[in-house]
A and B are shown apart, each in its own frame.
Chain A
Amino acid sequence: MATSWPKKRRLIGAKVQRLDGPAKATGKAKYSYDINRKGMLHAVLLRCPYAHAKIKSLDTAAAEKMSGVKAIHPIKKVGEELFWAGEEILGLAADTEEHALDAVRAVKIEYEVLPHLVKEEDALKNDPQTVSPVGGKRNNVLAAKEAASQGFEKGMADAAVTVEGSYGVPTICHQCLESHGLVAEWNANGELTVWASTQAVTATAAILAGHFRIPANKVKCITHYMGGGFGSKFGPDIQGIVAAELARKANAPVKLMLDRASEITAGGCRPSAYGKVKIGATKDGKVTAYEVDCYGTPGVGLSDTVTFNALPYVYPFEHKRKHVRIRTNTQLQRAMRAPNHPQNCALTEFILDDLAAKLEMDPMQLRLKNLPQNDPNAMQNAPHSLPALRHTIYTREIEIAAALSKWKEKWHPPGKTPGIIKHGIGMALHTWTGQAVPQRNECTVIISADGSVTARTSSQDLGTGQRTVTALVTAEILGLEPEQITLQFGESPNGASSGSGGSTTVPSQAPATLRAATAARDDLFAKIAPKLSAKAEDLVIERGKVVDRASGKSWDWKKACAALGEEKAQATGFWTAAESNKPENKDVSSSGVGGVQIAEVLVDTETGVVRCTQIVAVQDCGMVVNRLTCESQVAGGVIMGLNYALFEERIMDRVTGRQVNPDMEFYKLGGIEDMPKILVYLHDMPERGVIGVGEPPVISTHAAIGNAIFNALGVRVPHTPFTPERVLAALAAKGGGQ
């Protein structure tokens, strides 16, 4: 049966307060970190202090005898090599956290310290071969990926003007406020329950079941509340597995949450990207070719640090691209909010403003000239897809952003304002997908005879407002209020769901809820119609009641449900990418968004301090489900992007191979007083169906701020974060600020 959203929508698209808001704001909500079980032990991990070392000897005898110690679980053995400072060696559980910390210090361990590399640029001069072997080779610098479009050479040759520059973004840390970890508890039947801080409830349960070789239904993962993941919290991780191992050994519940330094050094980081970029254009600003040669570090891993096939970003220039991965003795990179798109955005958007300056053009006009065209094929076959609409969407969004920011009045040629404190305005574009995932996502809706309604799913709410979305969709279909829906959320036995990554949860879950609520309603009608002397097909929902269209009679919701008697009305709905792609389900969920951001800054040319004063964020997001939480996501993305621009950087020490700022004092994040005014504009297109919005708003903020600083100074500050030191260095390189 075809699925579609109701034509008339009362709640969908309205501003609905978070249902778990009061519990969270008053500290009553229990996060995984807050779970205290009877007889629970506290566990800590011993980590390698060196960036590269071999374990020479390991003696836990003294630690085992320490007060309160109940279990030790080895992770690494004598003779094994460790490849980054922070790598896990063993786990230890004791009756109190204090005892666990004392005992882990009593572990006697000797290392053979080996050469390391922690700064990617160092490897370009001389490859020290300090990482784990891949195909027998320990190279830090991996073979380059290269590609070019057919028209590149001609494009560069035809260019009337060319500009070159170097740009880059550093490795940054996820800094989830609730650290990674979980509480593990086994029962007498050999069943494991974990309260995990995870973005993937069902995957966490499945991975643990696989690790312990027990049936999947013997592991239950619970994530009722989650204190931030941003892409770094999929699965139990090593600490989750160790906690469960320790719990089994000690026959007691175990809590293992990372401390702050571990959270930062081992809990995830976004990879760096630095590149040389060259761009060519005609005199009137039509870009003819774009070339990028970039590198970055995935840490000890192997993955790209840019989205290779999306360079240049957003704009379909003739291009030549090269990317080199440099493996370092640092933690493995993890996905971070729109993985690799902020890197691509910086490597594309910065040079556009440098080009505009050389052409003496308004950079907004330059962008309008170079936007991707609507794809005629897509316009035929998928008229609501981003390829079919991209030119239209970006053009409209730029118009809206220009009006909201008063671009015409405020923009000036770069560096052309008088005085010490200079004003600048800049912009950048971004894109993201945000579609339903291939895996099955389920939601179950149950209506009881007392009129109570339960919506149940294993899916998790990371703070995006997913819980409220589920209630809101259910309430819309059943003519109720969101508060009337009881939610059973974030427990792995509640059905199939996927991890929350890639802005996929609303487009995967909301249609499943729509189907479940619709089918539960129909089940209700079928069951109560005979008792109400009506035909099921004549029954409809109106706000708070069931109406018989044939007789005109109506029953208040509770009365109508009472006719269920001993029965319940119930249905499970599911959604997948394949369902989304079926012609009969078109425009329920879809993929592809664009966004435009405009930033304004004041830069003090004497101190180098940048103050961001305003950001306009125009974001398309298909059909808005909850306008309140959707706006929060966009503003939150902008704030995270502002942190990228002005504050965040992982700083590694070349000599010790350790991070020098694994804390919250020297790893900076902005506070409320650092915040600009943020204007969020949702470019609502309900005809496109539901598209995820969690990630896209973070992508272009740092590029917009970087371009605003360029507009203020007339000088490019090439690398984020735009700290006073970097601003002053850039000014000095060009001979001062005046």
Chain B
Amino acid sequence: MNDTGEHNHLDQQDVGPTEAGLSRRDFLRTSGAAATVAALAEVPAALAEEAPAQSPAKAIGPEPVQLTLDVNGAAMTTYVEPRVTLLDALRNYLDVTGCKRVCDRGTCGACTVMVDGKPIYSCTLLALEAEGKKIKTAESLIDGGKLDAVPAAFVKHDAQQCGFCTPGFVVAMRAAFDQNPNATPAEIEEALSGNICRCGTYQQMRDAIVALCKNQPGLGTRKKEG
């Protein structure tokens, strides 16, 4: 998902013949994935303008295409169908499982990762859209035994029970502090308002937030909490 919440990766593609020899129209027609069709349903008008029927379109898929992602500083390569979300590429194809799949449609925040520093629901971004961008998951917040201040505060204040929502909260909170190391507790809570916890760990999360905000400055740069 981009900032306005639309899937628009096709708008940014060059219009030209594809490796698979399919036009964009063919791609739209032949793709069996309801999810992809639904996502694309918003753009046909723009497409029609941009890509007249006669012009050869550069389309990809529906067969798997090569995907290289920069995940936590490492280049990872696999093959996925273009309809695969960033979340599913990470989890099912690259075994990066810190981001969790819960609602799979941009409601719960369990799949939150940072893309070029911004917190993103990875279930709402196609994997191919994330190529060339820096992806960071919760796994990047521990380096050897060294725990980042945000997850350290979650541990210290017991802001997790089953923990399934936790990596999503941790990434969203880390991103909020990165954006504004002097954020107030209310601003951090607002940054977490797109995340849901079923076990009910918000009270302890607030304790963690208050402690982190008190320990300013320095949250913008990672450090181990004493």
Contacts and interface: CB of A to CB of B under 8 A. Distances in A.
The judgment on whether A and B are partners is: yes
Interface of A: 17-18, 20-22, 24-31, 33-34, 36, 42, 96-98, 101-102, 105, 175-179, 225-228, 230, 259-260, 462-465, 628-629, 631-633, 635-640, 643, 663-665, 669-673, 675, 678, 680
B105 to A, nearest CB: 7
Given A21-B160, A177-B100, A177-B102, A228 B142 contact: no
B226 to A, nearest CB: 14
B84 A98 contact: yes
Contact of B91 (A34, A102, A464, A678): A34
A30 B160 contact: no
Contact of A31 (B164, B190, B201): B164
Contacts of B134: none
Given A96-B92, A97-B92, A663 B107 contact: yes
A596 to B, nearest CB: 18
B39 to A, nearest CB: 14
B139 to A, nearest CB: 5
B190 A673 contact: yes
A28 B198 contact: no
A640 B200 contact: yes
Contacts of A22: 142, 147, 151-152, 155
B202 to A, nearest CB: 5
B203 to A, nearest CB: 4
Interface residues of B, number: 61
B99 to A, nearest CB: 7
Given A30-B97, A463-B162, A637 B193 contact: no
Contacts of B137: 27
A379 B105 CA distance: 56
Given A671-B192, A672-B205, A673-B193, A636 B100 contact: no
Contacts of B167: 24-27
Contacts of A663: 103, 105, 107
Contacts of B195: 671-672
A31 B195 CA distance: 19
B24 interface: no
Question: Which of A27, A42, A226 has most chain B Cβ within 10 Å?
Answer: A27
B108 interface: yes
B192 A635 contact: no
Contacts of A678: 203
B70 interface: no
Given A42-B92, A97-B92, A25 B154 contact: yes
B110 interface: yes
Contacts of B151: 22, 25-26
Interface of B: 32-34, 81, 83-84, 88, 91-92, 95, 97-105, 107-108, 110, 137-139, 141-142, 147-148, 151-152, 154-156, 158, 160-167, 170, 189-190, 192-206
A140 B65 CA distance: 53
Given A18-B155, A33-B100, A636-B199, A26 B147 contact: yes
Contacts of B88: 97
A260 B203 contact: no
Contacts of A20: 163
Nearest to B139: A27
Nearest to B195: A671
Question: Which of A97, A635, A663 has most chain B Cβ within 10 Å?
Answer: A635
B98 A26 contact: yes
Contact of B141 (A26, A639, A665): A26
B97 A27 contact: yes
Nearest to B96: A27
Closest 8 CB pairs of A and B: A27-B98, A639-B200, A463-B162, A227-B164, A24-B163, A636-B200, A21-B155, A27-B138
Contact of B160 (A18, A34, A96): A18
Given A33-B100, A260-B105, A633-B161, 7 more contacts: A21-B155, A26-B141, A640-B199, A670-B202, A671-B196, A672-B206, A673-B189
A18 B154 CA distance: 10
Given A26-B147, A27-B138, A228-B199, A178 B81 contact: no
A445 B62 CA distance: 55
Contacts of A259: 104
A25 B166 contact: yes
11 contacts: A33-B101, A36-B97, A42-B92, A97-B92, A98-B33, A227-B162, A462-B162, A463-B164, A632-B158, A639-B201, A665-B105
Contacts of B194: 671
Contacts of B99: 27
B203 A177 contact: no
Given A22-B147, A665-B107, A632 B204 contact: yes
B160 A24 contact: yes
Contacts of A96: 81, 92
Contacts of B158: 17-18, 21, 628-629, 631-632
A173 B190 CA distance: 26
Given A25-B138, A259-B104, A176 B198 contact: yes
Contact of B155 (A25, A30, A465): A25
A664 B95 contact: no
A464 B200 CA distance: 12
B98 A28 contact: yes
A637 to B, nearest CB: 7
Contacts of B147: 22, 25-26
B144 to A, nearest CB: 12
Nearest to B64: A96
A466 to B, nearest CB: 11
A24 B97 CA distance: 11
A633 B199 CA distance: 9
A260 B104 contact: yes
A680 to B, nearest CB: 8
Contact of A672 (B91, B102, B162, B202): B202
A640 B161 CA distance: 13
A648 to B, nearest CB: 11
A24 B166 contact: yes
B12 to A, nearest CB: 23
